[in-house]
Structure 1
Amino acid sequence: MKGFVLAGFVGRLPMSMLGIGIVLLVTALTESYATAGAVAAMTNVSFAIAAPLSGRLVDRFGQSRVITPFAIVNGLALAGLMLAAGFDLPEWTLYATGLAVGATSLSLGSMVRARWSALHGGSAKMHTAFAFESVADEVIFVTGPALVTVLATAVNPYAGLVVALVAMLAGSLALAAQRRTQPPVQPVRHGGGSPILIPGIALLSCVYLGLGAVFGSVDLITVAFAEEHGVKGAAGFLLAAFAGGSMVSGLWFGSRTWKMSLRGRFVRALGVFVVGLLPIMFVSTAGFMALFLFLAGLAISPTLITGFSLTERMVPPSLLTEGMAWISTSIGFGVAIGAWAGGRLTESFGASNAYAFPLGCALLAAVVGVAGSSLLRIPGASSPAES
């Protein structure tokens, strides 16, 4: 296994730990869920805004030159947030440090995928590589929240974020040190415009905004569902089932050689996602909810794998990291919207009824993806399976 894979895995562990870690720390020290949620939201939104900008810096100057200063500043910002909470500093300091944490968090998943692209771009190995990365993401989202929760509740309120900080620094600096596998800096062509101006990337960003709303709302609504049914402690298990379905499908999807086009796989995965979410509105027990969330999760990895593969094919090499960062940004904004809307709908109509929101978001994403699929043509594709 290549060293950058392990470094990237460790470095992006915090992406599943920061949000819940901040909530657990701030609520433990301030006893304010409103403040904790607002700080976590500030972190997510600032990351979503800054990710394409940091991605552009990576494309211009190379990964190693950008990762190191960003990682150091990110570590200082996270330490500052913990100190601000611990010393009961004015509330604005929590928002300021939270904003800094998000703005300096790098999309390491995009950088790892860019390295795979530099090694195997245009070959059949890219499908397997992106499938592997999707599975790695799901492993992170299965284990990260549980790890930070145990550390924060059983060890110390700071422990989860401290581990996240150490993992970020260790993984990021290790990735930066591996210069041999980083994509070469390429001369900017096509007028140096942003990848979001490419019609296919704009379409994918809209689709992933909807899918991010699914992820954000399902997470929050499922916690409420577990509490409504007297099994709040099972919420983590239910969410792990959702991510576990994606992990299993990623292994299966990535191991196959496909003759169907990337576009075909993408739109079919969106349709399967909609169908998979239908039953969860009618489930009344935690056991069946775990089963149906697992089944719904089966469509996640194929959708992400094909979306990143399409991005890799449509974006010029000189803009590749920024192009992939736009996908991460869209998901991030969607997660923030989904969490907000899911909370409002759950309070007003109950958890089971609130599941109509992620279903509607998935349906809207599928409609947009299918209607605009003609924009997903890959320049210079030589075979149906490539287009």
Structure 2
Amino acid sequence: MTQTVEKISSSPSPSLLRTAGLPYFLIAFAARLPFAMMVVGVLTLVVSARDSISLGGLTSASVGAGTACFGALIGAAADRFGQRPVLLVIAAANSAMLLALALVAYSDAPDGAVLAVAFGIGATAPQVAPMSRSRLVTLITQRMEPSRRERTLSSTMAYESAADETVFVVGPFIVGLLASALAPWAPLVGAAVLTVLFVGAFALHPSGRLVAAERSADGTAPSAVRELFRARLLVVVVGIFGVGTFFGTMLTSLTSFMDDRGLSERAGLMYGVMGIGSAAFALGVALLPARFSLRARWATFSAILFAGSLLLLAVDDVAGMAGALALIGVGIGPTLVTQYSFGATRSPAGRTATVMTMLGSGVIVGQSLGAAVTGEVAERAGTHPALLLPVLAAAVVAVAGAVNWFLTGARNENR
């Protein structure tokens, strides 16, 4: 396997935007959309075709289960063989699975077949966001002067997280638009088309040939697999799983809250209060001074997230909910950026894509699991017990941040 590695010259290195090129960022953004449409699109289709909210929740959870089982393996394959061939195969397989569910859901096939195909959708989900982070980290570490790497890495993780937040607001909106204007199967067909077009373009972009400098000619990594299970890395995985769980529990419990007031159709708009604030503050992380270390950022912003979640238990009107969501947005965006920054700096040599897909899978698995559990709680026990679940998820993020504080140590606060 050919390594595409360039040595750093003595002249000042160009910005990351110039190095990667503007088309790269546009393609990488669009290629995220199918992933953001999958969980909501699957839920919308199954509820409509099978007339079962319970099966819809289980099917969405099956998507998350597939990602949990195979997401990191896709990242490992990308590290071993390069992103381009892996993404091309995965894009084709995922498009086929999306189209298959659109057919199976309306057929006489048993519910188990629907769940199996949904699992396949998750298992073949293109890990565009983690792989984009991996590519950009490789560009930063291999083509920029050491003095510029730390700030550029922080800015890059901030942008990537803001892009994720934006896509996960836009994705469900597109699903709703297609389902309302055409049919419940339309979002999955649309996601299949977008996967072929934009994930394919992302795979074929010149940066798709990049290989970590640590990898040998045959693609093997110098680091052992066991290094992926170090406590300092696993605590980041647990923390980001907590963030994903918060997303799932918050959206579902918010939907129940708004439905109690006859405003269920506005749940997405209310959720956008958190999403927009989260994206804005995620971008703002790049402006924070270097002396505000990564471990301090995680501890600080996760505390803000937890404080905002506690307000959920006291609100009784839409205005109060909007205020709580606004505060939560201040905490969750910077926390997510910080966790990805830790993931980048703690990746074992030659395994950046593996680590980034571990973190990306943690978000989607947490989101799917949180949504499924919260839906059951809301249906059986009501909205107030359901609102306890985002608080528990926020507590997981904060506790993981506290553990990370002690694992990191004052001498190595940003690693």
Q: TM-score by structure 1 length?
A: 0.92
1:334 deviation in Å? 2.2
After alignment, is 309-318 or 90-99 more displaced?
90-99
Shift of 1:106: 2.2
Bigger shift: residues 2-11 or 182-191: 182-191
Residue matched to 2:285? 253
- Residues 1:177 and 2:204 are matched in the alignment: yes
Letter in structure 1 aligned against 2:117 = T
Cα separation, 2, equivalents of 1:109 and 1:126: 15
> For each residue in 1:62-96, what CA deviation from the matched residue of structure 2 results, as whole angstroms up to 9, or x when unmatched?
10011001110111111111111233333332122
1:299 counterpart = 2:331: yes
Question: What's the CA shift string for 1:347-376, capped at 9, x where partnerless?
Answer: 344213422221122123312321342323
* CA drift at 1:36: 2.0
Is the CA contact (8 Å cut-off) linking 1:4 and 1:112 kept in structure 2?
no
By how many angstroms is 1:377 displaced? Answer: 5.8
Asked if structure 2 preserves the Cα contact closer than 8 Å seen for 1:246 and 1:300, the reply is yes
Letter in 1 for 2:172: P
Alignment partner, residue 108 of structure 1: 128
Q: Distance in 1 between matches of 2:156 and 2:202?
A: 17
CA deviation string 1:2-29 (max 9, x = no partner): 3222222111112221111112112222
Change (3 A) 1:155 1:68: same
Unaligned runs of 5+ in 1: none
Matched residue, 2:316: 284
2:382 to 350, 375, 380: 350
**1:320 Cα offset (Å):** 0.6
Matching residue of 1:41: 61
Counterpart mapping for 1:232-247 below 5 A: 232-247=264-279
Q: Distance in 2 between matches of 1:148 and 1:195?
A: 39
- After superposition, give the CA deviation of every residue in 1:267-295 in whole Å (9 maximum; x if it has no partner): 21211111121212111112331232122
The answer to whether 1:60 aligns with 2:56 is no
For the residue of structure 1 that corresponds to 2:351, the secondary structure is helix
Query: Does the Cα contact within 8 Å between 1:345 and 1:354 map onto a contact in 2?
Result: yes
1:309 deviates by 0.8
Aligned amino acid, residue 13 of structure 1 = L
Q: In terms of mean alpha carbon deviation, does 102-111 or 343-352 score higher?
A: 343-352
**Structure 1 residue 161: deviation in Å?**
1.4
Query: Structure 2: where are the runs of 5+ without partners?
Result: 1-20, 142-148
Q: Which residue of 2 aligns with 1:74?
A: 94
Count residues in correspondence: 383
Who is 2:7 aligned against? Answer: none
User: Percent identity between the aligned chains?
Assistant: 27
Contact 1:196–1:326 (Cα < 8 Å) also in 2? no
For residues 60 and 194 of structure 1, the distance between their equivalents in structure 2, rounded to whole angstroms, comes to 16
Give the stretch that moved more between structures: 76-85 or 121-130.
Answer: 121-130
1:88 is paired with a residue of what secondary structure?
Answer: coil
Distance in 1 between the 2:349 and 2:25 partners? 20
Alignment partner, residue 20 of structure 1? 40
- Measure the CA separation in 2 of the matches of 1:52 and 1:376: 24
Task: State the TM-score, normalized to the length of structure 2.
Answer: 0.87
Q: Structure 1 stretch 53-62 or stretch 88-97: which is displaced more?
A: 88-97
Mark the CA change 1:89 to 1:345 in structure 2 (over 3 Å): closer, same or farther. Answer: closer
Q: Secondary structure at the match of 2:313?
A: helix
Q: Which residue of 1 aligns with 2:394?
A: 362
Q: Distance in 1 between matches of 2:292 and 2:177?
A: 43
